Structure 1
Amino acid sequence: MTPLINHAWDITPDEAITLQLWLSKRVVRVDELSTVSKIAGIDVAYHKQNATVVASIVVVDAETLEVVERLAYSDVALFPYLPGLFSFRELPAIIKLFRNLQTRPDLIICDGQGIAHPRRFGLASHLGVLFDIPTIGCGKSRYVGDYTPPAVARGSLSYLVDGTEVIGAALRTQENINPVFVSIGHKVSLETACHWVLKATRHYRLPETTRLADQYGRHFHENG
């Protein structure tokens, strides 16, 4: 897999913000995905002592959640660690990872934000626009916006709102467990995004795609 849009990565934070604002106009917020048979989860882990990042992806069968393919790639992050600009630090490694991916997923669930972002262009949206692939943002925590805690039952949700704009949902994936924060990445509506996050979540708070990508990334980092 190679990106359909290429841009410079050796840029300043101000240039990155300008680029986000420009690319955010390309985000498609309605469903433009066909039959979903393969779902991927992406995770990026940081080394505690240096600038090393490990990007990992696990592709699973959409119905059984059995692993079809998994890959990891270690790289050195060159962009500074700045809130709101994480995709400029993480995507170079993800792009290199994708070069060796044999299975093109129909949908990618990212451990991060989509349009639930100050400039409506978090990692999931950035990835989706560059590769023109359906993506979902599924964050462990809220980045921007306000919400009312959803009901305690699995599948309950409440909208995440920034000003007057709905930018995502707080989704309860397990009963009485803290919600995850789901947002449109690219080519997926919020309703569909919540459907697939819930479908990919079986026994834990996070989707299996995220858990498996995180586990494989840790294994790769520890064992090489």
Structure 2
Amino acid sequence: MNKRESVSGGWDVTPKEAIAIQQQLRSMIVVEKLSRPVKYVAGCDISFNKRSDTVYAGVVVLKLPELVEVEQGIAITKVKFPYIPGLLSFRESPAILEAWKNLHTCPDVLMVDGQGLAHPRRFGIACHLGLLLDMPTVGCAKSLLTGRYEEPPPRAGSYSPLVDKDEIVGVALRTREGVSPIFVSIGHLITLEDAIQIALKCSKGYRIPEPTRQAHLLVNALRRGEIHSQRSSPFRE
């Protein structure tokens, strides 16, 4: 069994086994400051075909500070795990990892459309992917999974703590004035402060940070048949 298999615990598992894997792996999450300046940020997302078991995955790499796209990788696979809140990693990660294989650029940070530590078992998909890829990851979720928060001030860049069982597990971050906050949390190999700053640096006038917003657009185009083959377009300086 290779390192990735040992960390994933395998994907052919029952929901009960998946919960046990999360509980086993959560102690492996490392919270630490980023060790170098961030130049490339990747965002990942998936899209499902409601009439079949096909899943469309995409990873988009953007260059800071311009937020210009430098590369994208896609994959089309079959989904095997059922939709269960709190266990999305077991449904979505296999497809994302297939798309990841098509990249040539090595991003400094991966932004995930989902939870990190802001999870009932402190092990959301951003944590799982961070361990699997051994890289800094940030959870940027559109909806609340666990915890409570006070509404942050209306200005862009404001945030308030997201608290679950007396523990700060993330923040509610206002990325654009007058819109609902997103929920930012640590995935792996990053601090909450760094995660917040990355999310803000990647915001471009929309509620959703640009890496995951572009990944969302990519996978929906893939699902609609507007992209017909696996592709990766590496950037060369």
* TM norm structure 2: 0.91
Length, aligned pairs only: 222
Q: Are 1:5 and 2:7 an aligned pair?
A: no
CA deviation profile, 1:143-200 (whole Å, cap 9, x unmatched): 1000000000111100000011000000000111110000000011111101110110
Letter of the structure 2 residue corresponding to residue 145 of structure 1: G
Q: State the shift of 1:5 in Å.
A: 2.5
SS at 2:178 equivalent: coil
Report 1:191-210 matches (<5 A).
191-210=193-212
Cross-structure match for 1:63: 65
Structure 2 match to 1:162 = 164
8 A Cα contact 2:48 2:223, kept in partner: no
Q: Structure 2 matches for 1:1-224, cutoff 5 A? A: 4-6=3-5, 7-223=9-225, 224=228
**Structure 2, unaligned runs of 5 or more:** 229-237
Does the CA-based 8 Å contact 2:42-2:111 persist in structure 1?
yes
SS at match of 2:127: helix
Q: Could you tell which deviates more after superposition, 54-63 or 24-33? A: 24-33
Give distance in 1, aligned partners of 2:211 and 2:115.
15
Q: Is the 8 A contact 2:74 2:100 kept in 1?
A: no
Deviation (angstroms), 1:205: 0.6
Amino acid at match of 1:124: A
Unaligned runs of 5+ in 1: none
How many Å apart are 1:32 and its aligned residue?
3.9
Say whether the 8 Å CA contact 1:58–1:67 is kept in structure 2: yes
Distance 1:83 1:51 in 2: 18
C-alpha distance in structure 2 between counterparts of 1:99 and 1:210, whole Å: 18
Over the residues paired in the alignment, what is the CA RMSD in angstroms?
A: 1.2
State the TM-score, normalized to the length of structure 1.
0.96
2:142, 2:35 → 1: CA distance? 25
Query: Structure 1 4/64 Cα, relative in aligned 2: closer, same or farther at 3 Å?
Result: farther
